Structure 1
Amino acid sequence: MPVTPPLPQISVNNKPSIVSWNRLEPRPIDWQFNRALRVEVRDAAWMLARQWQIGEFRAEDRASPAFAYIEYDVAKLTHYKAGHMLNSQNPQEAYSDSIPLEVQVEREEVPVDLNRRLQMGQYWIRLIMSLLELPKQEYKTLLQELRTAFPIPLPQDSLNGYSLDYGLSQSNPAERQMLSLSAGRAFDGEKFYRRIKDNLSWLADLANTVYPDDTAKADYVIETLGNKVFPQFELWYNRLFSQPTLVNQNNPNGPKIKAWENSSLEYKFKAVSSQVEDGYQRDKFLVGDDYSSGRLDWYGFDIEPTEVTYQLQENYGGNTKIQTYKRTFFPTNLEYPGAPNARWWEFEDSKVNVGKISIDTADLGRMFFLDFMFLYNGDWFSFPVNMETGSICKVKKLVVTDVFGRRHDIKPAGEGSDTNSNELDWGRWSMYAMSERGKPDTSDRSIFLPPTVASAMEGEPIEKVSFLRDEMANLVWGVEQVIPNGLGRGMSGSQAAVALTEYFNGKGQNTPLTTTNSDFIYKLANTVPENWIPFIPTKVPDSDRNIQYQLGAMPRVVEGLQLDPDNRIVDGRTVNDTIVNSRSQLLMELDNPDNPYIYEEEVPREGTTVTRSFQRTRWFNGKTYVWLGRQKKAGRGEGSSGLLFDQLIPVPPAS
């Protein structure tokens, strides 16, 4: 009979005790992953273990795609409309891909400065000399008559008072030198062009003045200038710059319609395309209402829902034809520079050294890229779908047949699963898709290839305005850092303001201070540089908390000089010598009684900088476009103007 040893007595401690665990995990000596990416080769056992580690021995019941069938609709852009969607006053125009959409959105009227007037005058002379056959002396007589009728004025100073035009000229050395050189030697080509365009019969007055006694010669000059010189000049003039052409119906003689919105400091526009739903053709609005970066792309658009529906056969104007394509392709593995081969041990080229990628644990972007490259790259396939520039494509059907003959109906990832229509956002996945307004749970299935430029040359800004907050003064300032110099370039706004102030101070008469026994002098307010234009926070109508910034005015005070308080019209704008007027087009447009506001959110704490510059590009048809556009960037923080009110200034002791 076997003897069973007695069991040991186990003492149980019912008192609570502190139990702790230590987690053991490997920690690399180096924070870099370079060595792990080199695929170093060891002995055979190590290589087998490495294959097991990366899953090459794991059997998976899957197949590769053999071919794919795709069916999709392609529609071209049909119309374009500048301005906000709610602004129904702006007409829309038929879109043509002969011009880049970026140019059509950004372009605005180019101001007629001194340089442009002289350039137009010189081209008039070139055409007259080449197309009008006259003796040399008669050429001189005709050109002298043009100089007399359309002179280049040279501002003159006032002996007893002041001249604002002369002061502005003194603050612009480059323009002053050009005026001194061209006054009396050239004529204003822009005024000559407007005179003929508005009244072609005026050429008879010009010819009769030059040839009062020779009717035949006068008729020859009228015929040549009207039928040969003027058409060629107008053709050259229209090719200089790309400018907007739509006229504001409420103000036909005013500026042309452009997409820039002053209140938001952004471009607002829409492009119209078409889509097919249930046998009907529907407008598809692609809205861009927050574009200001200077480079337009597909992600600058949102889909605006519309209820306008009409049948396919209806002629809406423009190119509204929707083309349906059916294609069968052989999918290929996704390829890009540095992509690994399908098998782990297959040799690759050395054009991209993945092992040299510098990465650490905090570099999430590169970690995601490497994770996709090594783990998921083999599961992605691609096949080409050709699209024309300026078209929008919507995939209707995608069926993939694998090597086992099974057919798979592929659904867009952004739609979620078919079994759960209320699937949450985390269950969806989409990329390179435009958002559809009013439907935050889904993304639009269309792919838009906007007709924008690949690259463009951009000149130095001719205008630069920095909007910055001044918390001490409770104001926002529009600081004109760069203003136009009248010759197609920009100049320092601060230097021009100092020069203009010095001119006015030189015209004033310093009055001696009244003798007083007081220790302090009271000063109502000090002044700020004239290139600092104030914006005053004002309450939005019918709102208790919303604030907008309204363009204000700074008084111009010159000691010992009486300024003219009367208003007058200069270049279509009401000016007053007692008020500091802005000298940049960016701020001049805000000097509008109908809408002198900027939204509060457009001037954050870091500020906002808006520039205006010329750009040039070449389109796919070989045509060159030059236009004047704007761009908004982040500022450099808050600022202080030094504006103070109600000062008590100590009186310096008598020497």
Structure 2
Amino acid sequence: MKMHVAKSVVDFSALDYVVLEPSISTYNRIETLPTGPDLDAGLQASLADPLWLLARQWQFNEFQGEDAGTPIDSRFAVRGRPVSACFPGGDIATAPQLPVAVSTPIEALIEQEPALARHPRFNAEAGLHLQRMIAHDGPASLGEAVRTAFALTLPAPPDPDSDAPGLLWHVVWGTRAIDAAKLAAALRLLRDASGNITALPPALALPAPDHAAALARLGAWLRWLDDLVMEAPWPNPSWQPDRMEYRFSLGAFNDATPSLRLDAGEYVDGRLDWSSFDARTLTRDPETPPPATTQHAVERRHPTPVRYPGMPADRYWEFEDARVNFAAVEAGPADLTRMMIAEFALAFGNDWFVVPLELEVGALYQVEDFKVVDSFGIEAAVHPSRNSDGTPWRMYELSAGTDAPGPMTDVLFLPPVADRALEGAPLEQLLLVRDEMANLAWGIEKKVQGASGEPIERGLEAARLAMRQQLTLETGDPQLVYRLATHVPAHWIPLLPVRKVRPGASVTEIWLQRAGLKRFYALPDPLAIQPGDDARLRAYKQFLALLDSNDAFIQQTATTEGIGVYLFHPRGRLLLEDEEQPVSDTDSLILCEEEVPRAGAVVRRAFQYARTPDGRACLWLGRAKLTGRGEASSGLKFDTAAHWQAFAN
């Protein structure tokens, strides 16, 4: 508070002399000024105007009596409906039904794909763990027999300069590694109903006295592998290659109400929660017995006020948490969500109470018979909140379709999901971008798996898979050179617009079809390096040999008049229509046009590691699609003329 006192005015006509009275001619603040030798006066924080403090309390409605008691006790009951079935792909009629277990995260159940077979280094390290177990607790003959019968050979990469990790692990492992995937597949065929291995694989030749110890050691290793790694054969019915996302459904059964189906139609970012599902009706076999509905009766739970960082203090003269300051939140006129959160946190945060309740995941829950007793001993029934204007939207409620079995009001789904999963470095990373100048879309392979399974930079490899013609012109020759098309890196895969009818519809739409880039190179005669070849010709022949050695994704389609036509395919798995078959010119993946927006998209494959609710470690290989970084320009042009020096460089 500030005040100003004007100077006194004296009438000179009535007085023979002037008396200057003391006056205050500056601004003062009504607060203590601790100028003394101690801090006692400053810490007291005394006010010169107590009425001002009372007025501020009145403005904050601190003197308003609401005649309301504080909740001190609550009694309620919770009814649960378990979710016990999973349908990959979302098609209930054709999809296989998988059991939903609390000990298995849904992310691992949906995303799992072959991990050992698609990562040679991980495959070898799983076999190395078996060797450590054998060295710790024999028999000694088992280690040599397994290395001989189930040897894993890591071949050298075709281009060691581009795939340094592949060359390193090829030298380290050689033929000394164990093929854990092949060994595990052979052992699973010999297990009985209880999970014990009853016999050794025929390829293992061991002395008879070592059979019992070998069975025990191999059984322990197989249990360790099954508990750690979640993998399933490919193709994964949940993965939708035309949309680069997962799709699945969960099923919940109940005697009293129709069967319920929870659809997750667009699972893209690798993280699931209750809001990822929509409620639908599930048609099931009436002879299948439904799981029993669980009833959780809770009595005498003490409500506690909600507390969160940055919450305003209840009274004056309390130090607040400085880590979060909602009063400093900046919001523009269109930031309605930010302003609503700030207003709620500052004005209405102290009106809420928390009642702790522990429930098992993997079920749908509904609160029943909720009663609260306040500090005056009055018992009141608490009903679900409703919007005053009658709109059906409510917080923490599943979205229900038109075919949902009745209203899904006041139902909360607790899915068995992974809590804070650790994601490894991307084994494969793909950018889906638009190129408005070329009127195309591109799939840019940033990272792919090398010979060892470790990621390599595709751009560095693509630079070694391109060579331009070098021109030397004499004086008087034309200075402009015609170019049929400009150069595009080998890891840029074109996505061409095509017309296609969407399944279940009759309207023709624009889709994006994966194509390949062709390169034309002159084939010298002979192709082999000769002693008389100069440095340029020798380097060119080595370059052609490098193209031929990468036949896994580079295909020589034709040879016409000494010109070889090389077709460059994707090296990774994300742009393949059939990931288990060798790439060819007939493999043509088709993407939905809306899945490549103007902002682009980033699709990646990586290992995921998480703890299950029962404390078990879980490892799987999954995929995720995130928002991209905008448009890109390939610089692709046709029928251009350039200066010969620019063409040569």
Which TM-score applies when normalising by structure 1?
0.70
Choose which of 82, 86, 89 in structure 1 pairs with 2:94.
89
Which residue of the partner structure matches residue 243 of structure 1? 231
Relative distance call for 1:69 and 1:539 in structure 2 (3 A) is same
Instruction: Find the partner of 2:267 among 272, 280, 291.
Output: 291
In the TM superposition, residue 230 of structure 1 has moved relative to its aligned partner by 4.4
Partner of residue 447 from structure 1, selected from 412, 422, 444 = 412
Distance 1:62 1:236 in 2: 59
Equivalent of residue 400 in structure 2, options 418, 425, 436: 436
Could you tell me how far 1:75 is from its partner in structure 2?
2.7
Map 1:207-226 → 2, pairs under 5 A: 207=205, 223=211
Quick check: 2:254–2:292 contact (8 Å CA) kept in 1? no
Structure 1 Cα separation of the partners of residues 309 and 172 of structure 2 = 59
Q: Is the 8 A contact 2:200 2:215 kept in 1?
A: no
Q: Counterpart of 2:167 in structure 1: which amino acid?
A: R
SS in 2 for 1:74: strand
- Of residues 465-474 and 428-437 in structure 1, the stretch that sits farther from structure 2 once superposed is 428-437
Q: CA deviation at 1:296?
A: 2.2
Q: Give the distance between the partners of 2:186 and 2:202, measured in 1 at CA.
A: 12
Distance 1:68 1:325 in 2: 12
| Structure 2 Cα separation of the partners of residues 350 and 518 of structure 1 | 79
Q: Tell me whether 1:546 sits opposite 2:509 in the alignment.
A: yes
Aligned to 2:523: 560
SS of 1:494 mapped into structure 2: helix
Number of equivalences: 554
Amino acid at match of 2:385: A
How much has 1:466 moved relative to structure 2? 0.6
1:602 and 2:595 matched: yes
SS at match of 1:103: helix
In structure 1, distance between residues paired with 2:569 and 2:122: 23
Cα deviations by residue, 1:599-644 (Å, 9 ceiling, x for unpaired): 2221111111112111222234221112212222211111122223
**Using a 3 Å threshold, how does the CA distance of structure 1 residues 299 and 350 change in structure 2: closer, same or farther?**
same
Give CA deviations for 1:475-499 in whole Å, capped at 9, x if unaligned: 2111111111333431111112223
Instruction: Please give the alpha-carbon distance, in whole angstroms, between the structure 2 residues aligned to 1:53 and 1:398.
Output: 35
Residue 328 of structure 2 is aligned to residue 358 of structure 1: yes
Q: Which amino acid aligns with 1:586?
A: L
Q: Counterpart amino acid of 1:437?
A: G
Is the counterpart of residue 100 in structure 1 residue 98 in structure 2? no
Whether 1:372 and 2:344 are equivalent positions in the alignment is: yes
- Structure 1: segments with no counterpart, 5+ residues: 1-38, 156-165, 208-216, 245-253, 418-422
Following superposition, the deviation at residue 333 of structure 1 comes to: 3.9
Residue 451 of structure 2 corresponds to residue 486 of structure 1: yes
Judged with a 3 Å threshold, the aligned counterparts in structure 2 of structure 1 residues 450 and 510 are, in CA distance, closer, same or farther, namely same
Following the alignment from structure 2 to structure 1, what is the Cα–Cα distance between the partners of residues 597 and 77? 47
Corresponding residue for residue 301 of structure 1: 277
Contact residue 131 and residue 143 of structure 2 kept, 8 A: no
1:631 aligned residue: 624
Looking at structure 1, the residues matched to 127 and 59 of structure 2 have their Cα atoms a distance apart, in angstroms, of: 79
Q: What's 1:76 paired with?
A: 82
TM-score (norm 2): 0.71
Q: Per the alignment, in what secondary structure is the counterpart of residue 77 of structure 1?
A: strand
CA deviation digits over 1:567-616, x for unaligned, max 9? 99999x99766421222122235679798222222111111111211122
Amino acid at match of 1:550: Q
Which residues of 2 match residues 99-498 of structure 1 at below 5 A?
A: 99-110=104-115, 111-119=117-125, 122-123=128-129, 131-133=138-140, 146=149, 150=151, 152=153, 154=155, 167-168=158-159, 171-183=162-174, 190-191=181-182, 207=205, 223=211, 227-228=215-216, 230-244=218-232, 255=234, 257=236, 259-274=238-253, 280-306=256-282, 315-316=289-290, 319-325=291-297, 327-337=299-309, 339=311, 344=315, 348=318, 350-351=320-321, 357-359=327-329, 362=332, 368-369=340-341, 371-373=343-345, 375-400=347-372, 408-414=380-386, 416=387, 424-425=390-391, 430-438=394-402, 444-498=409-463
AA aligned to 1:49 is A
Read off the aligned partner of 1:97 and give its amino acid letter: V
Structure 2: give runs of 5+ residues left out of the alignment. Answer: 1-44, 191-197, 528-543, 558-565
Cα displacement (A) at 1:464: 0.8
Counterpart of 1:358 in structure 2: which amino acid? A
Distance across 1 between alignment mates of 2:179 and 2:96? 34
**Structure 1's 303 and 570: CA in aligned 2 closer, same or farther, altered over 3 A?**
farther
Q: Shift of the alpha carbon at 1:397? A: 3.5
Aligned to 2:607: 614
Q: SS of the counterpart of 1:282?
A: coil
Q: Cα–Cα, structure 1 residues 239 and 292, in superposed 2: closer, same or farther, change >3 Å?
A: same
Could you tell me how far apart the structure 1 residues matched to 2:175 and 2:87 are? 45
Query: Are the aligned partners of 1:463 and 1:484 in contact in 2 as well (CA < 8 Å)?
Result: yes
Q: Quote the Cα distance in structure 2 between the aligned partners of 1:320 and 1:516.
A: 92
User: In structure 2, how many angstroms separate the alpha carbons of the residues matched to 1:486 and 1:191?
Assistant: 18
Give the CA deviation at 1:648: 4.2
Match of 2:497 among 525, 528, 537: 537
Contact 1:150 1:192 in 2 (8 A): no
Aligned partners of 1:55, 1:104: CA distance in 2, in Å? 54
Identity of aligned residues (%): 27
The structure-2 alpha-carbon separation of the partners of 1:361 and 1:471, relative to structure 1 and needing over 3 Å to count, comes to closer
1:365–1:139 distance in 2 versus 1, CA, 3 Å: closer
| 1:258 positional shift | 5.2
Change (3 A) 1:645 1:132: same
2: distance between equivalents of 1:649 and 1:323?
78
Q: Counterpart amino acid of 2:49?
A: D
Alpha-carbon distance in 1 for matches of 2:199, 2:407 = 63
- 1:532 deviates by 1.0
Question: Which residue of 576, 581, 591 corresponds with 2:569?
Answer: 581
After superposition, the CA RMSD in angstroms is 4.7
Change (3 A) 1:87 1:555: farther
- Is residue 390–residue 449 contact of structure 1 (8 Å, CA) maintained in 2? yes
Is the aligned partner of 1:647 residue 2:640? Answer: yes
Superposed displacement of residue 465, structure 1: 0.7
1:407-450 CA distance string (max 9 Å, x none): 65443224x56xxxxx553xx66222222223999864212222
CA contact (8 A) 1:459 1:613 kept: yes
- Residues 170 and 499 of structure 1 are in contact (CA less than 8 Å); yes or no, is this contact kept in structure 2? no
Supply the distance in 1 between the matched residues of 2:249 and 2:139 (Cα, whole angstroms). 47
